[in-house]
Amino acid sequence: MTVPISPFMFLCAGIIGIVSAYFAHRMGRSPYLWFAIGFLFGIFGIFAIFFASKKKEESPKPEPVFIINGPKDKFWYYLNGANERQGPMSHDALTNAWKEGKIDSSTYVWHEELREWTPLKETLKLVPHNKSF
């Protein structure tokens, strides 16, 4: 027995395909693929959207950051704009001054393990985000 294909069947399949595409789009899936699935499989295509495995969200890759590389247990000094020595200060205090913009990468710094005043940019080290040294 042959089932005649009527325009009404195409209309119903198209509507179910559109509903499938709508739900797929709201769930972050490909609406074109799910339109085809809904069109071909009808109401089962709509149910399949909800039972299909969840799409994994990609976590953003953390960007590397610069840290001041040097001894944390020594006193640090820096030269301000008038070439006056500022310090002594801890490694953390120098890091905070750099993050707050009080000093920049061209500022000269010194601690007792350095032979001479060195630009801060020569002591910076690029490390993965949230990794402390």
Q: Give 70-126 pLDDT, tens digit per residue.
A: 999 999 999 998 999 999 999 999 999 999 999 999 999 999 999 999 999 999 998
Does residue 2 lie in a domain region? no
| 70 and 123, same domain (yes or no) | yes
Does residue 85 lie in a domain region? yes
Look at residue 57 and tell me whether its pLDDT is greater than 70.
no
pLDDT at 133: 45
Percentage with pLDDT > 70 across the chain: 92
Does residue 16 lie in a domain region? yes
pLDDT at 71: 92
* Statement: the pTM of the whole predicted model exceeds 0.75: no
Q: Which two tokens stand for residue 5?
A: 């294909």
| 82 and 106, same domain (yes or no) | yes
Q: Residue 12: what are its φ and ψ, rounded to 5°? A: -65, -45
Residue 97 identity (one-letter amino acid): A
Does residue 11 lie in a domain region? yes
| 88 and 121, same domain (yes or no) | yes
CATH number, domain with residue 81? 3.30.1490.40
Confidence of residue 55 (pLDDT cuts 50, 70, 90): low
Measured CA to CA, the distance from residue 18 to residue 36 in angstroms comes to 9
In the chain, how many domains are there?
Answer: 2
Percentage with pLDDT > 90 across the chain: 50
Residue 13 identity (one-letter amino acid): A
Domain assignment of residue 17, given as a range: 7-51
CA nearest to 125, candidates 115, 117, 133: 133
Does residue 56 lie in a domain region? no
Q: Quick one: CA torsion of 19, 21, 27, 33, rounded to 10 degrees?
A: 140
Cα distances from 99 to residues 16, 68, 79, 94, in angstroms, run: 56, 11, 16, 9
| 47 and 75, same domain (yes or no) | no
Look at residue 130 and tell me whether its pLDDT is greater than 90.
no
